[in-house]
Structure 1
Amino acid sequence: MQLDTVLSVRDLWINYGEKIAVEDISYDVQKGDLVGVVGPNGAGKSSMFKAILGLLPYRGTVKLFGHKFHRELLRSVGYVPQKILFEPMFPATVFDVVSMVLSRANSTHHDRKNGIVNSHMSDYEKVESCLKATRIWHLHNRRIGTLSGGELQRVLISQSLANNPLLLIMDEPVVGLDTRSRKLFFSIIQKASEDHNITIVISLHHLDAVKEYSNKVICMNRSLTFYGKTSDFFANETLMGLCADNGILAHPHEHSH
């Protein structure tokens, strides 16, 4: 395993009772990668992410930053789940929701070069820095339940940035977003990755986003179908045919969010 390997997965199996969700998957993710994960519904993408985060039992080996998995390593991992809904009258503001994660963080431990936050900042300054990084500081006093889908996703990214992650895992974060919101989303995470040395693994259901933004692709359907450079993935006509047959879209349907 190379020194710059951020995530290493070896012989990963996940079962739900008798049902196999993930079957014998192995790959390495290097520092600075933006890896697009594709596969049909039920391919095991979310299960794989949950196993990496220690939320599901599995067989095999997961290493983070060169170390065999233990929970302390998760302090350097951010996670953005699939869309979360809040009741419109839920009283918490955007500022409140992002500040909630600060109480769980040991800020000194998370000081690092190019980090979004540091231990010399007040909690207010930390939240402000995260919300400015995702371009939603102007919404900091808005109730969380009144946001659009794109705005809410940026709140979740802000939360995940508050611990200065080295690795950011994102599970279908752009489902339902329109073209403008989707482009803004990717602009934000690309800048965060470049400015703050964050490696990103993101599951996507639209090949145009994978082609435009990722440098590597994981294609899976329980087992690993492909892992490698994005250019090699799109040059493989057999894989393109499999994607079409399994409902992985070349172009997204538009929604007004």
Structure 2
Amino acid sequence: MTFQYALVEREGPLTIVTLNRPQARNALNSEAHAELADIFDAFAADPDQWVAILTGAGDKAFCAGQDLAALADGAVLRPPPRGFGGLSSRFDLNKPIIAAVNGIAFGGGFELALACDIVVALETAKFALPEPKVGLAALGGGIERLPREIGLKRAMGMMLTGKPVSATEGLHLGFVNEVVAEDVMGAARRWAQDILVCSPMSVRATKEAVLRGLDTPLEVSAETVWTYAAMVEMLASQDAAEGPKAFTEKRAADWRGR
């Protein structure tokens, strides 16, 4: 499919989504939100797509957040389908997504990165939730996710001031996995390939279990993890038999995702 505000490429089981409004630093308007919701719906539903990378067009920005120019022209601010960029409220997606942050990630752009499972950033990238500076709040998941990822006081320091932090600071704080001097997409593809050598069913079961267990007492999670949908499906799958067989035969596993 062809989209106006995003580019979608598929490389085998890898989907690459590029926010494509470089003239607006990839800020998202209502049409872009709707397109991205459709894109991630299709990714979630396609059994042949196992991992996604999300990045921004151009060399200035990953995503500058909500299109404030549209709001200034009278557009109504409302929660977009499935959250900011069609992703930040997609809590049922068990497939991993990697953010390749190639520039500024401000406001909703930072919230998009926080909604991803792995964040790779150029050393020149910057992250911020500056909504209080424009009379708004980080309602695309930032208020909820950032304190969980870096702790209350550090998150408050960022959210109450709106001050940006560098990619290296993000690495030290814990919301960035890797900082690179160049070729952020190459680094993101490397992370993707490391995931793709694993069983996709095991990856999905692991992601679901980790996220559901975050706010669950350990003794409860240890019992209920066996009943999670992706875990049940994985344990009953052909891949669960293929993995040990490939290991004993000293060969690469032939994952079928079923």
Name the TM-score, length of structure 2 as normaliser. 0.28
Instruction: Answer 1 or 2: higher relative contact order, Cα 8 Å, separation at least 6.
Output: 1
Structure with higher strand content: 1
Higher helix share: 2
TM-score if structure 1 supplies the norm length? 0.28
